[in-house]
Structure formats: structure tokens, C-alpha cells
Amino acid sequence: MKSMLQRKVVRALIVVWTLTVLLFLYMPMMAVVMASFTKQRYFRFPVNAWDTRWYEKAFESLSVRDLFWTSFSVALLVTILSVVLAFFGALAFARYDWKGRKMYQRIILLPIFFPQAVLGLALLLWFSSLGITTSWHTAVFAHMIWILPIVTLIMSIQVYSFDPVWEEAAYDLGASRLQVLREITLPILSPGIISGAVFAFLLSWGNFPLSLFTTGADQTIPEWLYSKMVSGYTPMVPTLGSLTMGGAAGFLLIAFLIVLAVRRLRAGKPD
Amino acid sequence: MNEVPLGFLELRGVTKQFGEFTALEDVNLSISEGEFFTLVGPSGSGKTTLIRILVGMDSPTSGEIALRGDVINHVPANRRPTCMVFQNLALFPHKTVGQNVEFAMKIAGVATSTRRERALELLELLRLPSDFYSKRINQCSGGERQRIALARALAFDPEILFFDEPLSALDFRLRKTLEKELKDIHRETGKTFVYITHSLEEAMVMSDRIGILNHGKLIQIGSPDDIYNRPLNKFVAQFMGEVNTLAVEKAGTGKVKDSATGSMYEITENGQEFESGFMIIRPEVMKIGGAADVLPNRIQGVLFNDYALGSRIQYQVRSADGEDQWLVERLQDDPFSGNAGEPVTIGWRAEDSILVSS
């Protein structure tokens, strides 16, 4: 039998280990946030003079607004398109057994494993040989190639646990196809749809290598951060970095609240 | 032309083919209103295909299905005034018990308060306390889920209620309870129930009439008594449970001859035509030991072993050469006192044998 002391030591070690991992993961991000509140024009750490003027500048700047809208439009469009396509794709994968299904599933997943920079370059070559001018529209397409398989995969997990007999039962009880979709399929698959959407948005929002090659004259926030790091550093870099992170965190929070609200609504009142 | 009286649900020459495979072959059946009809068959007999066609989830390759005289072959499931209790029940996991029961009414646009009232009535009919209304499905036990599924189907107010072996996943005792409950619900609601199962025993408990299905063909339709006492062929006789079967041929008035050994047995002629086929004797009508000595049909054998079946004990007797084996059953409180390995006499009365041609 273990003594009380041994147990206490083990528990303490677990706490220390957990804290170390968290520190390792989150300290760099905290450093960026702290750097964004500096008064200086140069990137220095630790920060010794604090100020919020870079945030004021960021909010006033029209080019920052452009960056934000470009990133947001790309991410939003990628999310909507991926969720719709992945929804039907996942249903097709999980529900029907057709010849070559496994093979197709693997081939469609393959782009995830390519280096994104190579994928971006390949797409750029492809776009230019087709005579398509790259802009944030083409970036949406590029992001989709990488993100759609991931979203499909996430949704498939939920769809595999979906029993089509629920749809049959609803249909048998008089529901139309549309009512079945609204009453049965969508609500039961909603956790998968929501997590798929969250992944799609965040992966697109933070994507750099694909955007770099395919946005053309438009610029997303990660691209801007990179270009400013390479030449012409301004403390706006950590500021905007912090804001993007904040945006992602805020998006996650909203998604979480939606899930919570949906769950409460369902459990609470009869429909 | 003569007016042909129409059944409530009428199947005429229903055939279903999946490519080369014939799942159902020329099924003709007439079910009356308010009847509890059970289709029984082993797995692969086509019973699931048939019920899917009946509820409208599949359509027959040829033949007609008519409800109150109207052909409904091409009416989809959601437009048919019938519904089904599924094998795995198919209760909606994201809805509460109340929401499940109310589903059909919600679809039909019934007002919320009416829906609730009706759902609570149905829960009461199915002996579920009213606090189940707001429970989640995963908080309910297997038996409770059965009742909820039945309540949900009844809330649809169907003209015919179909059942696709809903009790098959339950343990024995609960199944027995629910079989009786189902029969009670049938009487209380007066609805037409069409039930499918692989268990003839289950069918016997509940049904007004039974249809036996094998290899896509409807072999016999009759009351439980018909099926049990007047099976049309060996398959039906053996489907109920273990029976003694002997290949025989007619050998003069009141006699048949064992096709293999030539032994003669007495039978009771009941006007049925019989040339050759099988003689079926149920284990529970067989006698063993002293009681067999006075019977016209006797066989000498060796007691091989005995098996306790609960209310009865089964004795396996083998012929001297060990080729044939016979089953005899006696009530549990009236055991036979022989030992395994000892020679015994078994026998049966002339009127206890059932003759079938195929």
C-alpha cells in the first residue's frame, strides 16, 4: 500500500508537470500579448514601458480594417462552403457503401499531408496557367482544398454514429423529406456540424502558407504579420497578432455558447 | 361479375426481386380489420422485406397491395395511414420521451396542449408514469423504451400498426411480459396489428392468425391452433420446436410404413390424402417406460440422456444402432426413473401422429 506521503508527492508532481506544459504552451503567446502593450517602437522583451496606443492605431487604421475583412471573408466563405459540402460528403461516406469508397476517402484526404507551401505554389501555377487572376476569391478555393477534407473527416465521425433508421422512423410517422432533415438529421448531427464549422473557420483564419501564394493583391492578417516581420517591423505586429488570437478565442467562445444554448433549449421545453 | 369481398389489407401476388434473388414469391394474404396477424419466418425468409413493402419503404417488383380496396403500391411511407415499431425502436435520441411520442402529432400540426394531453394519455395506457414525459431516452430501460416506441406509433393513430420483431433484443422474462401487454394493448385499442418475428412461440401467445414464411413463400396461414395441430408441412411442424420426424409411406387403411426400416405404425385417418411423406410426433405426447407398453406404436431404444427444460424434462432415446433418435418429454413433477444406457420402450397413440406430405 502506498503511504499518504507518497500519494501527496505524486499528486504534487502531476500538478507541477501540468503547469509546466501549460506554461510552455501559453507563455510565448502571453509574451506576444505583453509585447503588444509596449511603448517602444522595437520588439523587446521583457516590456518595461506600457501603453495601449498601438491598439488605438490598429482600430483607427483603414488598412487593418481591410486586412480584417479579407481574413474574415475568406474564413467565413470557407466555413460555409466546407460545412455544406462536408455535410453531404460525410453522409455519402458513412452511409453508402460504393465501390472504391475507401480509396476515394484516402485520396481526398491526401492534400492534408502535403506541405502547405508546396500546395500553395502548385495552386498558384495552376491558377496562372488557367488565366485566373489570384485574389481572396482564389484563396477561398485554396483553403478549401486543405480544409474541406478535415471538416469532412470531423463530420464523418458524427455521421458514423447516426442510425439512418431514425430518418425512416420519422418518415414513417408522416414527416416529409425536408421535415426529416430539419427535425432529425440536422439536430442529431449538429455537434459534428458545429465542430466542423469551428475547425473550418479557425484553420482558414490562421492560415498563412496557402494565403501567401493565392491571395494575389489581397492580404490576410497572417500574411501582413509575416511581411512586416520580414521588413518594416512595427509594434502593430504583436498588436494585430494579439487581436487575431483574441478573435479566434472569441469565435471559440461564441461557438461554445451556441452549443450550450442549443442544448439547454432542447432539454428545457417541449418542441 | 361477382362482388368479391375485400380484406382490410390485401396482398395479391406480391413478388420482390433483388437482381437474381427472389426475396418474396407470389405472396397472397388478406388481413381483416382489428386482427392481430403475425408473420413468422426464419432469418432470410423475406419477412423484413415484406414488412418494408407493407409500410411503404420498399415497393414490390410485381403484385398489388390494397388497403380498404385502394391499391397503395406507390404511396410512400409518409403518406400511408400505417406505421411501424422498428426492430431497434428508432427512438429519437435528441428528443425527450414526450417529444418522441408527440412527433407524429407535431408533424400533423396538432396544437401543443392537445399533443401533450394525448401523449400523457398514451403513457398512461402503456403503464408509464407521467414523469417520463420529460425524461430523456437514454434514461429509460429496455422495457420502457419498448413502451415509448409503441406510444409514439399509437400517437400517429395508424390504421395498421406494424411491428418488426421489436422484442427480439430483450431478455426472456421481459419479453414474455411485453408479449402479453402487447396483446392487451391490441384489445384495448382495437387496432389492426401486423407483427413479424422469427419466434413461433411469440406468435402463438399474441396472434389471432399466423402466417409462416420460408424462402420468400407464404407456406401456411392459420390460427395458432391450426399451425400447432395441423401443420401443412415438415417445415411448419419443425419450426415450433423439437419434434420427432419419420419418413413414412401409406401402407393400407390406418397404417403407415417406415420408409427406411419397414416398421408399421398405426395412424388415425382424418380424410386427408396421404401417399408418402413424414410422420410428426411431438415430444410431449410420447410416452416412455411402462406407460408405453400398452400403446399401439412402440419403439425399443436405449435411454441416452435427460435434459431439464424447466416445466418439463426431455429424454433422448436412441435406437439400438444409434441411427435414429427420439425425444420424449414428461412434466417436471412426473419424472421417468430410468438410467442412461438402459433399454427403454417409447410409444405414442395412433391419433397423436401428424402426417405431412412434404
DSSP conformation letters of A254-265: HHHHHHHHHHHH
B93 and B51 together in one domain: yes
Give the pLDDT confidence score for residue A223 in this predicted structure. Answer: 93
- pLDDT value, residue B229: 86
Q: pLDDT for A141-151, tens place per residue? A: 999 999 999 99
Report percent pLDDT > 70 for chain B: 98
Q: Are residues B87 and B203 in the same domain?
A: yes
Q: Does B15 touch chain A (CB under 8 A)?
A: no
Please check the confidence at residue A55 and state whether its pLDDT lies above 60: yes
Among B133, B156, B158, which residue's Cα sits nearest to residue B144? B133
Residue B183's nearest CA partner among B138, B224, B219, B238 is: B224
pLDDT band at A1 (very low <50, low <70, confident <90, very high): low
| Mean pLDDT score, A175-190 | 93
Is residue B248 domain-resident?
yes
Give B83→chain A minimum CA distance, Å.
Answer: 6
The answer on pLDDT for A50 being more than 90 is no
Closest CA–CA distance from residue A134 to any residue of chain B (Å): 45
pLDDT at res. A211: 94
What's the full length of chain B, in residues?
358
pLDDT at B310: 83
Q: Which pLDDT does position B4 carry in this prediction?
A: 47
Q: Write phi, then psi, for B299 (nearest 5 degrees).
A: -135, 135
At A258, list the grid cell. 451556441
What CA–CA distances, in Å, run from B357 to B214, B233, B254, B286, B354? Answer: 17, 6, 16, 22, 10
In a domain, B3, yes or no: no
Domains in chain A, please, with CATH? Answer: 65-268 (1.10.3720.10)
Same domain (yes/no): B215, B297: no
Residue A98 is predicted with a pLDDT of 81
Residue predicted with more confidence, B148 or B261: B148
Last residue in a domain, options B233, B268, B302: B233
Question: Same domain, yes or no, for B147 and B250?
Answer: no
Q: Are residues B280 and B228 in the same domain?
A: no
Residue B4 lies in a domain: no
Residues B165 and B103 in one domain: yes
Tens digit of pLDDT for each residue in B101-120? 999 999 999 999 999 999 99
| Confidence class for position A2, pLDDT limits 50, 70, 90 | low
Lowest mean pLDDT among A33-47, B46-60, B203-217: A33-47
Residue B198 lies in a domain: yes
Has residue B144 got a pLDDT over 80? yes
B307 and B217 assigned to the same domain: no
Within 8 A of B77 by CB-CB distance, chain A residues are: 168, 171-172
On whether residue B2 sits in a domain, the answer given is: no
Indicate whether B248 and B227 sit together in one domain: no
B33 and B155 both lie in a single domain: yes
Over residues B312-332, the pLDDT tens digits come to 899 999 987 777 889 999 898
pLDDT at residue B357, rounded to an integer: 84
Parallel/antiparallel/unpaired status of strands B82-85 and B244-250: unpaired
Residue type, B4: V
Q: How far apart are CA A38 and CA B37, in angstroms?
A: 83
Q: What is the ipTM of this complex?
A: 0.83
B110: which 3 cell numbers? 396538432
- The answer on pLDDT for B3 being more than 50 is no
Chain B residue numbers touching A169 (CB-CB < 8 A): 84, 86, 90, 92
Query: Mean pLDDT in chain A?
Result: 88
Domain membership of residue B328 as a residue range: 242-356
Confidence of residue B197 (pLDDT cuts 50, 70, 90): very high
* Pairwise CA distance, residues A216 & B320, whole Å: 95
In this structure, the answer to whether residues B75 and B214 fall within a common structural domain is yes
Interface test with B, best of A167, A168, A172, A184 (most B CBs within 10 A): A172
The pairing of strands B276-281 and B354-356 is antiparallel
How many separate domains does chain B show? 2
Whether B246 and B220 share a structural domain: no
A268 CA: distance to closest CA in chain B (Å): 9
